[in-house]
């Protein structure tokens, strides 16, 4: 059962003034990651480029394979990017003092908790030149913690009225939709990179095998051809 509307409604009942979709941040991540890949290919940068949107993978590489750090994309995770947008662009458009914003992330990944404490996760504070803003994401809770919170507040989830995400940073593309699937980040980045290089949508033959990168059956490969100009 698709419960997005009820989850948004529950967050509003718990006191959220605004609820925004992480897919907006996923689109930002894909655009930045694809742009960086194109830049590396054109100018002889470090290849291969590894995605950096998973904080658990990034920390694993930092600890056990530091030689791979130059291969990591410099792009932040979708949640981290959106959190920075909330305390900058979103706050400015809504006329909200960013110092009064408490940004709460709800997601299924426990590694996001550690990510919020990384020293570089204070882009909004650097943008405003105000250290009092603290970290971009103030609180990160898992979906299980979200469920327990609902129960502790004695909210009957079955009767929660459905609600929609706030629309200021609620727009999304198909690239962000497949972001959470296995292989989805690579597929979205390759599609976007192709568009950036050729200014055209990928032809059907270029995407013939992209579906194969999804799933859990071991490591899979993909050959994607384009002409660099």
Altogether, the residues listed in the chain come to a count of 229
pTM of the model: 0.82
pLDDT at 219: 61
Query: Residue 123 has which token pair?
Result: 């882009």
Residues contacting 128, CB < 8 A, separation 6+: 87, 88, 98
CA distance 181 to 197: 25
157 exposure class (CB count in 10 Å sphere: 0-12, 13-18, 19+): middle
How far is the CA of 186 from the CAs of 53, 67, 105, 109, 221, in angstroms?
11, 22, 24, 19, 11
Give SS3 for 79. Answer: helix
For residue 92 the two structure tokens come to 């400015």
What is the per-residue pLDDT across 53-105, written as a single tens digit (0 to 9) for each?
Answer: 889 999 999 999 999 999 999 999 989 999 999 999 999 999 999 999 999 99
pLDDT per residue rounded down to tens, the chain (229 residues): 688 899 999 999 999 999 998 888 888 888 899 999 999 988 888 998 998 888 999 999 999 999 999 999 999 998 999 999 999 999 999 999 999 999 999 999 899 999 999 999 999 999 999 999 999 999 999 999 999 999 999 999 999 999 999 988 666 555 545 555 556 677 777 888 888 888 887 766 655 555 554 555 666 666 666 665 5
Q: 105 and 79 in contact (C-beta within 8 Å)? A: yes
Query: Distance between CA atoms of 153 and 130, rounded to whole angstroms?
Result: 35
């Amino acid at each position: 059962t698709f419960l997005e509307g009820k989850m948004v409604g529950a967050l509003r009942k718990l006191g959220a003034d605004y609820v925004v979709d992480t897919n907006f941040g996923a689109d930002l991540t894909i655009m930045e990651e694809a742009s960086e890949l194109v830049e590396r290919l054109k100018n002889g940068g470090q290849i291969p480029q590894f995605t950096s949107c998973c904080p658990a993978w990034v920390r694993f590489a930092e600890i056990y394979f530091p030689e791979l750090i130059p291969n990591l994309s410099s792009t932040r995770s979708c949640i981290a990017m959106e959190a920075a947008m909330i305390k900058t662009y979103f706050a400015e458009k809504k006329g909200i003092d960013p110092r009064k914003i408490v940004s709460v992330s709800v997601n299924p990944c426990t590694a996001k908790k550690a990510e919020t404490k990384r020293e570089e996760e204070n882009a909004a504070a650097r943008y405003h030149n105000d250290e009092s803003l603290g970290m971009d994401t103030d609180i990160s809770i898992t979906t299980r913690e979200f469920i327990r919170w609902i129960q502790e507040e004695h909210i009957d989830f079955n009767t929660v009225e459905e609600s929609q995400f706030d629309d200021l940073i609620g727009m999304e593309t198909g690239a962000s939709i497949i972001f959470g699937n296995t292989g989805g980040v690579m597929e979205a980045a390759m599609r976007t990179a192709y568009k950036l290089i050729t200014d055209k949508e990928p032809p059907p033959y270029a995407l013939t095998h992209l579906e194969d990168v999804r799933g859990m059956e071991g490591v899979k490969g993909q050959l994607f051809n384009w002409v660099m100009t």
